Amino acid sequence: MKKLLFGTAGIPISTIDYSTLHGIKRVRTLGLDAMELEFVRSVNISKEKAPEVKKTAKKEDVVLSCHAPYFINLNAVEKHKVKASINRIVQSAMITSLCGGKNVVFHAGFFLKMNPEKVYKNILNGIEEVRRILDEEGIDIKLRPETTGKKTQFSGLKDLLRISAEVEGVMPCVDFAHMHARTAGKNNTTEEFREMLSQIENSLGKEGLRNMHIHLAGINYTDKGERNHLILEDSDMNYEDLLKVWNEFRIAGTVICESPNIEEDAILLQKYYRSI
């Protein structure tokens, strides 16, 4: 079995007749192995359509995951906003599961300058509620809170590993570009990459390294963190050493490329990884 699958954040740009189904086929034609369904504005696949997506993904041997809508804050002050956030993650998970996907990525929330431990508890409660609903429905999918690009957003690797260790069925989506940007330029050397993977192994064991969901892109940042994604070659993202460390730690899972030229950088990463 292939250890690391590379794919695109959404439908490849070069897809003719732009649609989810054509996107999956295009991913296969490009020689990639995964595609993340981008529900960033809304969950845009219906229950009725999902089985067809599942069938196509299976036929083309493309692994699907999803990115839940951006409008999520499990630490919102207003209760109705927390409830709506929980619903958006649940909806994303249900549809992705019907599409045959096993991972749902989301940005868990914002710190809102509140006490970090209080924020942690609020977000933990929200994620536990999502998990409870999904378990009740018998939906087998991993919840993947993502490492975010700004310090104002929940959160870095440490918090996400803590939640993952605490709640069954939760593992981080490790966005290495975000980790680089949220620390304003750190997390970009071999030693730092090793440190991050060791942290994952210490918290989640070998399973943490063998079942990873990763985001990677070139990134532009300031002292405050992420500004925007870039093409890898136009950025200072040290992807070569990162991929060497992935290989060293024998990680497995899915790598989703979020560069603006999504499929081109996904292919670049895949090729580079295979050349190590």
Count residues near Zn ion (CB under 5 A): 1
Torsion of CA 153, 245, 274, 22, to 10 degrees: -10
Q: How far is the CB of 182 from Zn ion (least distance, A)?
A: 12
Residue whose CB is less far from Zn ion, 146 or 226:
146
Q: Kindly state the smallest distance separating residue 127's Cβ from Zn ion, in Å.
A: 16
Window 38 to 97, contacts with Zn ion (CB under 5 A): none
The minimum distance between CB 36 and Zn ion, in angstroms, equals 9
CB of 124 to Zn ion, least distance (A): 19
Distance CA 209, CA 29 (A): 28
Nearest one of 235, 233, 231, 234 to 260, comparing CA atoms: 231
Whether cis (ω within 30° of 0) applies to the bond prior to 155 is yes
Pick the closer one to Zn ion by CB: 56 or 254. 254
Which CB, 105 or 204, lies closer to Zn ion? 105
Pairing of strands 63-67, 34-38: parallel
CB of 1 to Zn ion, least distance (A): 27
Instruction: Write the CA distances from 42 to 15, 22, 142, integer angstroms.
Output: 21, 20, 20
Q: Which one of 33, 146, 192, 226 is in contact with Zn ion (CB under 5 A)? A: 146
d(CA 44, CA 35): 15
Name the amino acid, one letter, at 19: S
Asked if residue 226 binds Zn ion (CB under 5 A), the reply is no
Nearest to Zn ion by Cβ — which residue? 146
Please report how close the Cβ of residue 276 comes to Zn ion at its closest, in angstroms: 26
Choices 34-42, 43-51, 142-150, 192-200 (CB under 5 A): range interacting with Zn ion: 142-150
Phi-psi region of 168 (alpha: psi -120 to 50; beta: other; left: phi over 0): beta
Q: List residues binding Zn ion (CB under 5 A).
A: 146
